[in-house]
Amino acid sequence: MAKTKVPTNTITRDLCDLAAPTGNIYETVVILSKRANQISIAEKKELTRKLEDFKNDRDTMEEVFENREQIEISKYYERQPKPSLVAIEEFKDNEIFYRMAKQEDEE
């Protein structure tokens, strides 16, 4: 999903609209939280990979200097929409595949 379509601030949402696809708001919240967690982990891995380029084994706490590129990369990720907002937009646009675990019949 293009992150440009996702609002960067929190907006009020109708719970009935969010619950409609699953029929249960709690199931919707679980789906959204799991997707937001996936997005968060992917962004963290991407950020860590980009910042690894700036790692210097000789740096100590006293010798650490500011790197403009490193700061710009960090600021870029800070401006991105929160993973929960991205997950909600994906859910609204039917871009999330989910399935319910089958309940076993008690005998």
Asked if pLDDT for residue 58 goes beyond 60, the answer is no
Cβ-contact 93, 1 below 8 angstroms: yes
The predicted pLDDT at position 63 comes to 47
How far apart (Å, rounded) are the C-alpha atoms in residues 106 and 33?
Answer: 29
pTM: predicted TM-score of the whole model, two decimal places: 0.75
The tokens describing 27, both together, are 């199931």
Domain borders along the chain are 10-54+65-92
| pLDDT tens per residue, range 2-55 | 455 777 777 888 899 999 999 899 999 999 999 999 999 999 999 888 888 777
Segment 71-89 shows an average pLDDT of: 88
Q: Are 96 and 35 in contact (CB under 8 A)?
A: yes
Q: Does residue 97 or residue 33 have the better pLDDT?
A: 33
CA–CA gap between residue 22 and residue 32 (Å, rounded)? 12
CA 83/CA 85 separation, integer angstroms: 5
